Amino acid sequence: MTKSYEEIPLTPISNTPSTVNLTGLWRVVKPVVDKSMCKKCTICWKYCPDAAIKLIDGEPVIDLLYCKGCGICSFECPAKCIVMVKEG
């Protein structure tokens, strides 16, 4: 049975980032959060596969040293406040 996002426990999929590898260095696109549009739903944090998103006062802060640029946070964001932009 598939769970709705309301039923998913309030925890990231991975419980620790890849602290051995700084994986963000090979990223091609990066997520940018428009905090004025963010509803603080924490869905981006729940779905980040590498725990690269931290919540500070309920708002997502993306650690670009570990973010791989996969875009899952942007895809899952119901408010569409996360956009993927080209690096550089």
**Every domain of the chain and the residues it spans:** 23-86
Check residue 6 and give its pLDDT. 77
pLDDT tens-digit profile, the chain (88 residues) = 777 767 877 765 555 555 666 777 778 999 999 999 999 999 999 999 888 999 999 999 999 998 999 999 999 999 999 999 998 8
CATH classification of 23-86, choosing from 3.50.50.60, 3.30.70.20, 1.20.1250.20, 3.90.79.10? 3.30.70.20
Q: Provide the 8-state DSSP code for 56.
A: E
Residue 75 main-chain phi, psi, to 5 deg: -65, -40
Rounded CA-CA distance 77/38 in Å is: 9
Counting Cα atoms < 13 Å in the Cβ hemisphere of 59 gives: 11
Check residue 53 and give its pLDDT. 95
- CA-nearest of 41, 35, 50 to 78 is 41
Residue 37 main-chain phi, psi, to 5 deg: -100, -15
